[in-house]
Chain A
């Protein structure tokens, strides 16, 4: 495989709430994202998946660990040039398309803002053409540039969010629950759009979601998070065909299957970390086949794979 686009090593993100209480949101998470691939992060709420996304895009300052983008360290203080490069090459799509768009700006200006800041054009006509092309690409019409966010439906607003991320031609897009707030039929439209864009521009996605069936559908590789630890990671096939960690198994069993006769007879597998006696901080990463890794102690691994 080629050089990874993004390399996260032992990322730790703690939030000090008070003198005696620190939230350990992310504890030593490592993964790679290669150019043009989609890496899915799944886990329940509070597992730290959003925190990881925000640490990568530098909204948080990591407690420890390294994040490398194209081989360059990007955790901590940066010089201006690297910072500028990052702001162009890494973009984010947020969960709630209403609260992430400025209600007082026209959609055309929202999409064009990045172009304006980075002076990516030589004339206004050129800028407007770039915005129009982007609107076209995400399935909106050019006339929409003159409208405000409130004049759009949820699905259309999310398209605006995607257009804003794409206009800079980024190498990595962090999509944080970007389809969770949309209706089923609209989700499919947005996911198809994201796939098409990946095919034509070759950008990589970090796809953060809690809906496993969507994650399976869009991702090449998946990381399963629980309580701030990456409990299992591997290609989509590896994870789904051969889940090892009991949390992954429980997560997979909880996804409802649209087949009533089967679904009615099926029971989800409960996972209780304390009852199982699993202490994540004791575990080490074990390499199974290929890129499939699982966090466990030797004894646990033997028990789970038995």
Chain B
């Protein structure tokens, strides 16, 4: 199997559909994504764009009505003796996935900490569960490790907290416990699916800083799923913008925030008021995301796109290369496309953002 040299996890042409009562929903339509060691990749998109489904496929958590039509998810598995081999996670059986990958190599943090914790078990037990399952250690070692983890995620009086039940903790504390559980068996990859959406802004900031700190200490690779561009700016090295089951723009975080090329990315950036926006109206993307029950013809974003060209109605744009790391799927980048500029308000704002950032560059 061919795999990008530096990548630790690689999605290749992933294509997934769901059988529903209403018909077949083609949720993921050819997703390619690389995660390199030690990096943070963010997947941004609206609800229903397929960002959660993509990563759930990697850990075998897809719902029963899902069909994987094609594609591979390659993972560079490092054995305990130090040798490396590449495995296709989609080819593994559920049993193998459970034994060797889930939790142990790839751990996941979900959106709502209340529903991902067991309400009838003390948090100490829940953290030790993973350690005892994946590592051959006795209970005392696991207990010590659990204490260490609780301290790592910034929970004070860890010894006392070990005996608490989830309902005795606040939302932010619970999410810290979930992170501690995810880290319990030293995974290579941490997948965070909207980890802070259910939390308050002040706590969100704290949790994001915590994940960043742990990542640099443990050398984790992180996939971040979010719809909040502010969060992306804080945590990500690379950004993938997803729309209607495809990645429509990818680049490093500066390229996406300072020189976005896809009209949808423009729309997302413009729709978010920053604290300096004084314009009378917010720029909004008209309409709503397409229903993937009906296979879109041409570019799925065309009906909402003020800059749509004639060809958008006929053919889906390929990824055009902007720089070594920056690609966007819009016909506007085709050599024979008319020169189109982003909306002037957004341009002014990005200009301002770049100026502010230059102080640090």
The residue in chain B whose Cβ has the minimal distance to the Cβ of A182 is B47
Comparing B29-37, B183-191, B227-235, the segment that makes contact with chain A is: B227-235
Contact A258 B230 (CB under 8 A): yes
Question: Which B residues are in CB contact (< 8 Å) with A268?
Answer: 202, 205-206, 209
Task: Give 1 or 0 for each of B261-304: 1 = CB within 8 Å of chain A CB.
Answer: 00000011111111101001111111011000000000000000
Least CB distance, A15 to chain B, in whole angstroms? 19
Least CB distance, B214 to chain A, in whole angstroms? 16
Q: Is A253 on the interface with B (CB-CB < 8 A)? A: yes
Least CB distance, A231 to chain B, in whole angstroms? 13
**Interface residue from B202, B229, B231, B274 paired with A251 (Cβ < 8 Å):** B202
Q: Is A116 on the interface with B (CB-CB < 8 A)? A: no
Contact A251 B230 (CB under 8 A): no
The residue in chain A whose Cβ has the minimal distance to the Cβ of B360 is A261
Mostly helix, strand, loop or mixed at chain A's interface? helix
**Interface residue from B234, B267, B268, B281 paired with A192 (Cβ < 8 Å):** B281
Q: Is A5 on the interface with B (CB-CB < 8 A)? A: no
Contact A183 B47 (CB under 8 A): yes
Question: Which B residues are in CB contact (< 8 Å) with A252?
Answer: 275
Task: Give 1 or 0 for each of A187-224: 1 = CB within 8 Å of chain B CB.
Answer: 11101100100000000000000111110110000000
Contact B286 A189 (CB under 8 A): yes
Rounded to whole angstroms, the CA-CA distance of A132 and B268 in the bound complex is: 31
Question: Which A residues are in CB contact (< 8 Å) with B148?
Answer: none
Instruction: Given A216-B273, A256-B234, answer yes or no on A184-B288 (Cβ-Cβ < 8 Å).
Output: no
Rounded to whole angstroms, the CA-CA distance of A45 and B234 in the bound complex is: 23
Task: Give 1 or 0 for each of A37-71: 1 = CB within 8 Å of chain B CB.
Answer: 00000001100000000000000000000000000
Contact B206 A259 (CB under 8 A): no
Question: Which A residues are in CB contact (< 8 Å) with B271?
Answer: 184-185, 187-188
Least CB distance, B111 to chain A, in whole angstroms? 13
Least CB distance, B262 to chain A, in whole angstroms? 13
Q: Is B250 on the interface with A (CB-CB < 8 A)? A: no
Q: Is A240 on the interface with B (CB-CB < 8 A)? A: yes
Question: Number of contacts between A and B (CB, 8 Å)?
Answer: 134
- Interface size band for B: 35 or more
Least CB distance, B361 to chain A, in whole angstroms? 6
Q: Is B5 on the interface with A (CB-CB < 8 A)? A: no
Question: Which B residues are in CB contact (< 8 Å) with A184?
Answer: 46, 227-229, 268, 271-272
Rounded to whole angstroms, the CA-CA distance of A194 and B272 in the bound complex is: 16
Q: Is A267 on the interface with B (CB-CB < 8 A)? A: yes
Q: Is B311 on the interface with A (CB-CB < 8 A)? A: no
Rounded to whole angstroms, the CA-CA distance of A213 and B201 in the bound complex is: 11
Contact B233 A254 (CB under 8 A): no
Rounded to whole angstroms, the CA-CA distance of A144 and B147 in the bound complex is: 57
Question: Which B residues are in CB contact (< 8 Å) with A270?
Answer: 206
Q: Is A271 on the interface with B (CB-CB < 8 A)? A: yes
Contact B257 A217 (CB under 8 A): no
Task: Give 1 or 0 for each of B251-265: 1 = CB within 8 Å of chain A CB.
Answer: 001100100000000
Contact B254 A261 (CB under 8 A): yes
**Interface residue from B202, B280, B356 paired with A254 (Cβ < 8 Å):** B202
Rounded to whole angstroms, the CA-CA distance of A189 and B304 in the bound complex is: 13
Contact B206 A191 (CB under 8 A): no
Question: Which A residues are in CB contact (< 8 Å) with B228?
Answer: 184, 256
Interchain Cβ contacts under 8 Å between A and B, 8 examples: A44-B201, A184-B229, A212-B201, A213-B272, A213-B277, A216-B273, A252-B275, A256-B204
Residues of A at the B interface (CB closer than 8 Å) are: 44-45, 153-156, 183-189, 191-192, 195, 210-214, 216-217, 240, 250-265, 267-268, 270-271
